[in-house]
Chain A
C-alpha cells in the first residue's frame, strides 16, 4: 500500500519569507516516483517536479527547491522569497513503479502568502 502524508494543513507566510512544505511517504515498491503539484483556485493541477526513487539529487528551479531524503522517506518542497502568486494548495504525490502506476496524493497543504 502507498501512503503520502502532508502534515501541514495550512501555512501562512508574509511575502518574501521562505517556506518549506513537508511530505513523507510510504511504499513497498523499490522503484517509485514522487511529485509535487500546485493547485491554484482555478482548480487545475499544475505539475512542478518529478523525482525518481533512484535519483536522490536535490533540485533547484528558480525560487523552488526540493529535498529528497530516501533514508527518512521525505520529499520536502521549499519556496524561497515567497510571492502572493504562490498562494495555492500544494499536493505531494507518489506513483509506484508497476504498470498500472496509479498516483497516491497527500491531503495537500494550503499556502497563503500575504503581501
Chain B
C-alpha cells in the first residue's frame, strides 16, 4: 500500500539553526500539507500546497517557515531560524483529489535545544 514517508524521524538542532524536514507524498497525490503537534497537544494545521503554490496557511506559518516541492516528488518544510518553541512533531500529509483521503506520514520529531 502506498504511504507518505518522512525523513528524518528525529532531528535535534540548536536554536537559530535552519532545518529542512522532508516528505515524499504518495505519487499521484495533488494536495500536500504540513501539520505540527507540540508534545501533549493537538495536531495543528500549518500549510497546504496545491498546484505548486500555497493554498492556505495558518497564523503559525510565519516568515520563518517555507515550503517547497523541488523535484516533483519531495515536499519540504524549512524553518529558517529555529526557536525552542518549534520543538514538536511535524506531520506531512497528502491527498489525491478534492474528495480523497488524506494520508499522514509517520512524523518528524524536531527537538530544538
Chain B nearest CB from A91 CB (Å) reads 6
CB-CB under 8 A from A50, the residues of chain B are 101
Q: Which of B37-60 contact A (CB under 8 A)?
A: 41-45, 48, 50, 55-56
Please encode chain B, from 4 to 19, with 1 for each CB lying within 8 Å of some chain A CB and 0 for all others.
0000000000000000
Most chain B CB within 10 A, of A45, A50, A97, A106, is at A45
Given that A45-B104, A47-B104, A50-B101 are contacting pairs, would A100 and B43 also be in contact in the complex, using a CB cutoff of 8 Å? Answer: no
CB-CB under 8 A from B101, the residues of chain A are 47, 50
- Are B42 and A103 in touch, CB under 8 angstroms? no
- Are B33 and A102 in touch, CB under 8 angstroms? yes
- Are B102 and A107 in touch, CB under 8 angstroms? no
CB-CB under 8 A from B45, the residues of chain A are 102-104
- Are B43 and A91 in touch, CB under 8 angstroms? yes
**Interface band, chain B:** 20 to 34
Dominant SS at the B interface? strand
- Are B107 and A102 in touch, CB under 8 angstroms? no
CB-CB under 8 A from A35, the residues of chain B are 102
Given that A99-B50, A107-B42 are contacting pairs, would A43 and B102 also be in contact in the complex, using a CB cutoff of 8 Å? Answer: no
- Are B104 and A91 in touch, CB under 8 angstroms? no
The 8 Å CB contact of B98, one of A44, A99, A105, is A99
Please encode chain A, from 7 to 34, with 1 for each CB lying within 8 Å of some chain B CB and 0 for all others.
0000000000000000000000000010
Chain A nearest CB from B26 CB (Å) reads 13
Interface size on A, residues (CB 8 A): 23
Q: Which of A48-70 contact B (CB under 8 A)?
A: 50, 52
The 8 Å CB contact of A45, one of B44, B91, B95, B98, is B91
- Are A100 and B102 in touch, CB under 8 angstroms? no
Q: Is B20 an interface position by the 8 A CB rule?
A: no
Q: Is B109 an interface position by the 8 A CB rule?
A: yes
Chain A nearest CB from B87 CB (Å) reads 14
Q: Is B89 an interface position by the 8 A CB rule?
A: yes
For the complex of A and B, the 10 pairs showing the least CB-CB separation, nearest first, are A100-B55, A100-B56, A105-B43, A102-B45, A45-B104, A100-B48, A44-B106, A107-B42, A105-B42, A102-B48
